[in-house]
Structure 1
Amino acid sequence: MIDHNRSKTSHRHYWKRWKEDGDLDARKQLIEHYLPLVDFVSSRMAVGLPKNVTKDELASSGAMGLIDAIEKFDYERGLQFETYASWRIRGSIIDGLRQGDWVPRSVRDKAKKMEDAYTALEQRNLRSATDEEVSDYLNISVKEFQQMLQEVAVTTLCSLEDPIREEESETRLSLLVDDKAINPESTVHDTYLKEALALGIERLTPKERTVVSLFYYEDLSLSEIAEVMSLSPSRISQLHSKAILRLRAALSKQKDQLLQK
């Protein structure tokens, strides 16, 4: 990966030349310097995707996300570009996959049914739903439930630019955007979002929380997490899928409550 401290010092002049002078050579230097981010993100996202999706395809979409990030990044705010760019790259890859119709409608329907099951059970019981409870709710066996988790794993690759609900245009990113102005409505939405995520994380099992932490905060791939936790990659994929389905359910429930207020 990129040396963050070195990036800040040795490339600040490129940012200055690009943002203040429109120097295209400086822009090219920034793109070339941060290209390893595209390879890093696409390699992580390639795990668990269908075999017909190549890493080159992911990297191609990711490169567009990197360029977009360089276009929009405000280097004077003192934020970490790598973090910002990683989300943009990830979002661009997911957009590319979505446009390619890579997930069958039947798989999305299964993911929605599982998400609804978690919402109903955890709202009723005020605790994490077990695999057995979800299986009973869906009227399937635990083995069939485990198979469904494997099938929907590809749908749990989330982007902040995904809509909170499929039929709506409002995205998760819209709840987090800083317009450099005090906006009471945005503050309320942001507060409720944090509360919903906190509650959702509390209801994850210890193993699910570990997977989420290692994947999203420690930047480990699912294969690396499998080694750390001494579990199979398929088991890690299942834990990740369940965690994301629970968190999506928490966000959807919070969205419904906000609309009723």
Structure 2
Amino acid sequence: MKPITWIPLMWGVICGAVSSGGFVWRWENVLIAAACMLMSGPLLAGYTQTLNEFYDREVDAINEPYRPIPSGAIPLPKVIAQIWVLLIAGILVAYGLDRWAGHEFPILTALAIGGSLVSYVYSAPPLKLKQNNGWLSSYALGASYIALPWWAGHALFGTLNWTIVTLTLIYSLAGLGIAIVNDFKSVEGDRQLGLQSLPVMFGVTAAAWICVLMIDIFQAGIAAYLITIRENLYASILLLLVIPQITFQDMYFLRDPLKNDVKYQASAQPFLVLGMLVVALALGHAGI
């Protein structure tokens, strides 16, 4: 289930709650927000990761044969059972959150089901986005990590609107850059099995540049938007956070993306994550 991957989704829920302007610090809201993070992280991200591991077992047998499924440590029937348990539990929690919020339309349940379908299309044949379209698969992953949990947190404590939807989808183009990083470790297996990840399509060096430019350009674009709504302080903070990010991109990732992908993510991604919260604070302050 890769617990490290839960953190961005749980953080996205926090950003959505902040941008809604409706979160008030009291125990009930804290517990409800925690339930939403449970839904987004351990349950549905866990479902996504387990599903992806199941359908990537042939690739992993080449790249990382020690992983639980290709090594045989976990039998396939247990993997399938885990997928179903996580999926159903995630949707049930989403429905409970809709009931708590008094939604006439069960928007959180719809987001949970919609995100789960995106996960299935990303990982499973016959569509398997990664196999057929590296751009679309990376964007689907980026949007799942930024936009979807943000929408859930915002809808839970406020009213989700098209401005928030549009901005987070644009922000997810920065997430596309983060998604590309995950493809470098499996480039050899992807190439052998004909999977069209961006490192396979464009080569390692070009894909590394695409990765960092997507992250930096779209963060700067969001900062420009904050200036247009007169949230200049938050825009300045966001731009300042991009500076160390660029530094680590040059120090680690652009010099050797295959060797330094994990080191780069550990050093640079915290600044992207903090930038998301800065944007959420700005949107909440502006009443978007």
Structure with the greater alpha carbon radius of gyration: 1
TM-score in terms of structure 1 length: 0.29
Pick the structure with more helix per residue: 2
TM-score in terms of structure 2 length: 0.27
